[in-house]
């Protein structure tokens, strides 16, 4: 646990917007980003105009393939009616959070005071080929070995269950419970792609996609966009009385390929980015009550719980199992470790909210922004004491990149 | 995939090429030009894992594949470790169809696996076909592991002949019920096999059997009537995969061609191979001749109940010869008994016409001429091998010339694997070499529609005994308890993927 006195605000979020996630066949990627961006600008409490934006940082993974688009800066200049510097970041599923990481650097450099950050993806326009396309985020040798993304994560899941589950059926159930919990969390999320409860049995009986991964272990194919307005910590109160400060912003990379890694049961980039963010803020995972975690497949959420230190190595599934089994309430299901509780994926995570790849990393911040401000409506989490901090964890591919952001409402 | 990407992949994937740091021993796949640990001090050398075995580290049964692999239905993709986990590669498990009922992939963890040269996929019917050795079969399954050991050749060469051979018969079979012309069951390609992969497998086994260094193989002939490409040599793929000839800048100082003469596309080149190694200008030690086919037949045609799949490879040279080539009698006439026009998928044939004026006339004429030329009688010969379109023709031809069933029967593997077309008589010859004793004489007669035949007389030497420990006998493959039967529908589906 950290000392809570080192954190320095790096930037402040003063507005956030997003589209609904799902099969949005009636709209195009640039219109999606425009919609999220405009909603975000409009959400700034004390007002902000498009022309106040000094630069934009956008992230997306597959737009060139799914929609035969290039030069997104030019598209967005036209759509938003602004002519400021716009950069595009591609980092697979971490495209959005990587754009955010760059945006924070832009603010910290002193070059910009107000920037728009956005992530988007339009996957369903190429529904019949998207499974192949997603493999751009893997080594071509993995593609040529017949892998799919679910297959790569299933390979991690097999190894995890082999090394730590040791034929215990509860391990398999725990990995199903992550899905059940996230679907439960999405029930009151008006933007979520799937607002439907599933039982552990439903998950364990769903279609085998890449044995042992079943359909209900997987995040869906989604369209969507999300956006944030960032400003300097000093100017934040000019735009809203309740800015949310980014106090930690870190990124780490590791091998793109699963087969060149030291371990298949831990994500090195997550470990590095998380520990750097904790070191930057003087915090520890036990100081965090709310986290948005990259649950593209449920095994990944379990790995995060261990890689972040919330549970010990190989103990994640046990923590998930006992937390889920012992939960008696009706709203958000926290993970418990000793006296600490951590609510993960309050809006349903990638699993139920949806996973428009490039949008996810920004959507996570949107969720935390709303929760920390107490603006999440029916989906507002309740914790012991004021909700003051949250962490967002976003990874690309099978862990070739990880980005971690730590947010705080009231600075110490 | 573009052609340049394909070429780059070939250099890495055909033999599982890695680089290893000579300072710290760390191995890199895909190959890297420097070691992460040693940095600028790195000294990297190339190491390939073509002949090694690995073990299953983890994997998943892919039920919803990428479009590129949809033709395989369900399969297992895996991470494979080599050298006790010093490095890993991704790979697909081949020769294996996951059961439709519940599967526990973790049960495969730690199992030994063998790299197999297989098709990854093709870009449609008019695009390129991609191959790789990053496909693995379980060691305790059909395909046995063989360690490659180079054996120093004898100092002196003598009369040219066979110095090694290898036969590859795929794992999957279909039963003929009832049997068709003596053919009871037949081999067929797995969904990722084709004639090129058969040729590489057979060639690999010939190298293992002979123990020679592949750099001294200066020519390779690949005979087939089911080559995956109309234009692009199988031979080049075989050469690259087996490293035939001296390496230079990613290529090899070896030559060769694909040949076509229906079922005798390979065998007629045996004499050319033996001649070349005796020809000073050739300046090479060995010539490889491979006959392989995914034998084609139109669905429901009479041939659809006799065709098999597989191939055999022979190495010819002058040192450590296991069987000398003593006589060659070819016989040719323009007889239209069986043919396939360019662009057509299946061959046509003249039904009963293929027997009497075609097969029997050519085979018997060559056999009799060979006996006359060598001044031998059937009693002087221990084994007779005839091209085997079915089990009846080769037997009747042998009887017609005066041989006994004991002399022909050991070569009649057609009854259990079907007609291997270009691989037929070479596989029959191999099944006899598997059991022959020094001094035995073998009369092999091949036949190719269109039409021609040639008879060869071989005399077995005592070298055959010491090399026998390195062979995988035809009978062992024919009767392998791990062979797996499939339905007619699966047989047709996999056969069509060639």
pLDDT, one tens digit per residue, over A155-184 is 999 999 999 998 899 999 999 999 999 999
Q: How far apart are CA B73 and CA A140, in angstroms?
A: 20
Catalytic residue from among B209, B349, B362, B387: B387
Domain with CATH 3.40.47.10 in chain B: 161-496
Q: Is residue A145 part of a domain?
A: no
Identify all chain B residues contacting A148, using CB atoms and an 8 Å cutoff: 62, 64-66
Q: Is residue A209 part of a domain?
A: no
pLDDT of residue B117: 98
* Distance from C-alpha of A98 to C-alpha of B445, rounded to nearest angstrom: 70
Q: Give the tens place of pLDDT for each residue, B209-250.
A: 999 999 999 999 999 999 999 999 999 999 999 999 999 999
Mean pLDDT of A73-99: 96
Inter-chain CB proximity B77 and A212 less than 8 Å: no
Indicate the Cα dihedral angle B408, B410, B414, B415, nearest 10°. Answer: 100
A193 part of a folded domain: no
CB pairs A-B closer than 8 Å: 118
A234 touches chain B (CB under 8 A): no
Q: Is residue A25 part of a domain?
A: yes
Interface test with B, best of A158, A207, A253, A264 (most B CBs within 10 A): A158
Contact A158/B60, CB-based, under 8 Å? yes
> What is the distance in angstroms between the Cα of A210 and the nearest Cα belonging to chain B?
4
- The interface pTM score, or ipTM, of the predicted complex is 0.95
Of A144, A155, A159, which has the smallest distance from its Cβ to B134's Cβ? A144
Pairing of strands B452-460, B323-332: antiparallel
pLDDT band at A4 (very low <50, low <70, confident <90, very high): very low
On whether any CB of chain A is under 8 Å from the CB of B69, the answer is yes
Two tokens, residue B294? 């995914």
pLDDT of residue A3: 45
| A392 close to A405: Cβ distance less than 8 angstroms | yes
Helices (H) and strands (E) in chain A, counts: 15, 13
Catalytic residue flag (residue B220): no
| pLDDT, position A1 | 44
CB contact under 8 A, B105 and A212: yes
Residue-level pLDDT at B102: 76
List the catalytic residues of A. 93, 355
Whether the per-residue pLDDT at B192 is higher than 60: the answer is yes
List the single residue in A with minimal CA-CA distance to B92.
A145
pLDDT tens-place string over residues B360-386: 999 999 999 999 999 999 999 999 999
In a domain, A186, yes or no: no
How many beta carbons lie within 10 A of that of residue A262, not counting itself?
Answer: 9
Question: Contacts of residue B13 in chain A, CB cutoff 8 Å?
Answer: 141, 144
Q: Given the DSSP bridges, would you call strands B309-317 and B452-460 parallel, antiparallel or unpaired?
A: unpaired
Per CB-CB distance under 8 Å, the chain B contacts of A128 are 67
For the B161-496 domain, the top CATH level (class) is alpha beta
A211 contacts chain B (CB < 8 A): yes
Does residue A29 fall inside a structural domain? Answer: yes
B106, A158: Cβ pair inside 8 Å?
yes
pLDDT at B496 over 80: yes
SS (H, E, C) B301-337: CHHHHCECEEEEEEEEECCCCCEEEEEEEEEECCCCC
- Across chain A, mean pLDDT equals 96
Q: Nearest-CA neighbor of A342 among A284, A269, A271?
A: A284
Query: Does residue B421 have a pLDDT over 50?
Result: yes
Find residues 112-171 of chain B whose CB sits inside 8 Å of chain A: 120-121, 130, 132, 134
Mean pLDDT of A47-60: 97
Look at residue B100 in the predicted model and tell me its pLDDT.
76
> A232: which residues sit within 8 A by CB, 6+ positions away?
A11, A12, A107, A113
A59, pLDDT greater than 80: yes
Taking the Cβ of residue B13 and every Cβ of chain A, the question of whether any pair is shorter than 8 Å is answered with yes
Distance from CA of A48 to the nearest CA of B (A): 45
Is there a domain that residue A231 lies in? yes
Provide, as residue numbers in chain A, all residues whose Cβ is less than 8 Å from the Cβ of B65.
Answer: 131, 146, 148
Binned at pLDDT 50, 70 and 90, residue B83 comes out as confident
Q: How far is A164 from chain B (nearest CA, A)?
A: 12
Number of domains, chain A: 1
Provide the mean pLDDT of chain B: 96
* Confidence band for A273, pLDDT divided at 50, 70 and 90: very high
Q: Which residue of B has its CA nearest to A143?
A: B66
CB contact under 8 A, B60 and A162: no
Q: Does A81 map to a domain?
A: yes
Contact B135, B13 (CB under 8 A): no
Asked whether residue B203 carries a pLDDT value surpassing 90, the answer given is yes
Q: A214 pLDDT exceeds 80?
A: yes
Q: Tell me which of A5-9, A84-88, B327-331 is least confident.
A: A5-9
Mean pLDDT of A13-23: 98
pLDDT tens digits, one per residue of B276-311: 999 999 999 999 999 999 999 999 999 999 999 999
CA distance A382 to chain B (A): 39
Assess B55–A contact: CB distance below 8 Å, yes or no: no
**Token pair listed for B52:** 């090694």
pLDDT of residue B164: 98
Question: What CATH number is attached to the domain comprising A99?
Answer: 3.40.47.10
Above pLDDT 90, what percent of chain B? 94
Range of A74's domain?
11-129+219-408
Contact status of A281 with chain B (Cβ, < 8 Å): no
């Amino acid at each position: 646990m950290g000392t809570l006195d080192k954190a320095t605000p790096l930037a402040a979020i003063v507005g956030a917007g997003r589209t609904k996630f799902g099969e949005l066949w009636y709209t195009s990627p640039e219109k999606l980003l425009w919609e999220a961006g405009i909603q975000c600008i409009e959400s700034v409490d004390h007002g902000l105009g498009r022309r106040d934006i000094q630069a934009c940082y956008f992230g997306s993974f597959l737009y060139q393939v799914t929609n035969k688009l290039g030069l997104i800066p030019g598209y967005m200049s036209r759509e938003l009616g602004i002519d400021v510097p716009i950069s595009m970041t591609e980092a697979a599923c971490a495209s959005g959070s990587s754009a955010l990481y760059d945006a924070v650097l832009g603010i910290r450099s002193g070059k910009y005071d107000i920037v728009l950050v956005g992530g988007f993806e339009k996957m369903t326009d190429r529904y019949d080929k998207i499974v192949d396309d997603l493999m751009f985020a893997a080594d071509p040798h993995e593609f040529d070995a017949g892998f799919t993304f679910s297959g790569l994560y299933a390979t991690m899941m097999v190894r995890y269950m082999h090394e730590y589950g040791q034929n215990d059926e509860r391990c398999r159930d725990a990995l199903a419970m992550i899905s059940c919990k996230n679907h439960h969390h999405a029930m009151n999320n008006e933007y979520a792609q799937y607002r439907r409860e599933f039982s552990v049995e439903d998950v364990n009986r769903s279609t085998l996609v890449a044995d042992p991964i079943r359909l209900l272990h997987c995040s869906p194919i989604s369209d969507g966009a999300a956006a944030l307005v960032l400003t300097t910590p000093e100017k934040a109160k000019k735009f809203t009385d309740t800015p949310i400060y980014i106090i930690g912003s870190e990124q780490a990379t590791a091998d793109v390929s699963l087969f060149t890694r030291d371990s298949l049961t831990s994500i090195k980039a997550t470990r590095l980015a998380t520990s750097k963010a904790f070191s930057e803020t003087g915090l520890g995972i036990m100081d965090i009550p709310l986290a948005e975690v990259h649950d593209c497949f449920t095994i990944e959420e379990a790995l995060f719980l261990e890689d972040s230190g919330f549970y010990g190595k190989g103990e994640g599934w046990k923590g998930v199992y006992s937390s889920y089994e012992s939960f008696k309430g009706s709203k958000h299901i926290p993970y418990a470790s000793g006296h600490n509780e951590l609510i993960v994926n309050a809006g349903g995570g990638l699993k139920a909210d949806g996973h428009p790849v490039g949008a996810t990393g920004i959507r996570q911040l949107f969720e935390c922004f709303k929760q920390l401000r107490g603006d999440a409506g029916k989906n507002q989490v309740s914790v012991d004491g004021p909700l003051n901090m949250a962490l967002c964890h976003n990874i690309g591919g099978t862990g070739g990149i990880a980005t971690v952001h730590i947010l705080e409402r009231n600075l110490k | 995939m573009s052609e340049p990407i394909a070429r780059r992949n070939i250099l890495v994937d055909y033999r599982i090429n890695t680089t290893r740091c000579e300072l710290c021993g760390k191995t890199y796949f895909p190959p890297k030009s420097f070691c992460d640990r040693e940095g600028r001090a790195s000294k990297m050398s190339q190491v390939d894992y073509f002949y090694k075995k690995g073990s299953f580290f983890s994997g998943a049964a892919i039920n919803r594949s990428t479009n590129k692999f949809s033709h395989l239905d369900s399969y297992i993709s895996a991470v494979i470790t080599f050298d006790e986990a010093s490095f890993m590669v991704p790979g697909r498990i081949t020769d294996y169809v996951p059961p439709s009922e519940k599967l526990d992939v973790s049960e495969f963890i730690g199992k030994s696996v063998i790299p197999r040269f297989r098709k990854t996929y093709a870009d449609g019917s008019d695009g390129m076909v991609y191959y790789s050795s990053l496909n693995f079969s379980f060691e305790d399954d059909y395909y046995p592991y063989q360690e490659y050991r180079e054996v120093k050749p004898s100092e002196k060469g003598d009369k040219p002949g066979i110095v090694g051979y290898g036969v590859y018969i795929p794992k999957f079979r279909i039963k003929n019920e009832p049997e068709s012309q003596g053919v009871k069951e037949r081999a067929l390609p797995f969904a990722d096999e084709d004639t090129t992969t058969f040729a590489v497998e057979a060639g690999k086994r010939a190298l293992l059997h002979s123990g020679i260094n592949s750099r001294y193989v200066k020519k390779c002939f690949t005979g087939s009537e089911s080559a995956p490409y109309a234009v692009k040599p199988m031979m080049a793929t075989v050469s690259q995969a087996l490293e035939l000839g001296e390496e230079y800048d990613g290529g090899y100082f070896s030559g060769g061609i694909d040949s076509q003469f229906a079922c005798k596309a390979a065998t007629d080149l045996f004499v050319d191979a033996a001649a070349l190694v005796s020809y000073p200008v050739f300046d090479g030690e060995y010539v490889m001749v491979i006959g392989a086919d995914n034998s084609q037949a139109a669905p429901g045609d009479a041939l659809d109940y006799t065709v098999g799949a597989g191939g055999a490879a022979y190495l010819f040279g002058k040192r450590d010869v296991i069987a000398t080539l003593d006589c060659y009698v070819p016989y040719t006439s323009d007889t239209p008994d069986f043919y396939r026009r360019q662009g057509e998928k299946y061959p046509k044939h003249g039904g009963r016409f293929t027997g009497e004026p075609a097969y029997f006339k050519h085979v018997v004429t060559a056999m009799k001429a060979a006996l006359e030329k060598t001044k031998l009688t059937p009693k002087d010969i221990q084994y007779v091998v005839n091209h085997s379109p079915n089990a009846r023709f080769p037997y009747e031809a042998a009887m017609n010339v005066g041989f006994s069933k004991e002399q022909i029967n050991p070569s009649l593997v057609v009854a259990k694997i079907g007609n291997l077309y270009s691989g037929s008589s070479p596989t029959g010859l191999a099944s006899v070499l598997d059991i022959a004793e020094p001094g035995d004489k073998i009369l092999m007669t091949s036949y190719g529609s269109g039409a021609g035949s040639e008879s060869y007389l071989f005399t077995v030497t005592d070298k055959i005994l010491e090399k026998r420990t390195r062979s995988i006998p035809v009978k062992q493959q024919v009767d392998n308890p791990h062979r797996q039967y499939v339905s007619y529908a699966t047989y047709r589906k996999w056969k069509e993927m060639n």
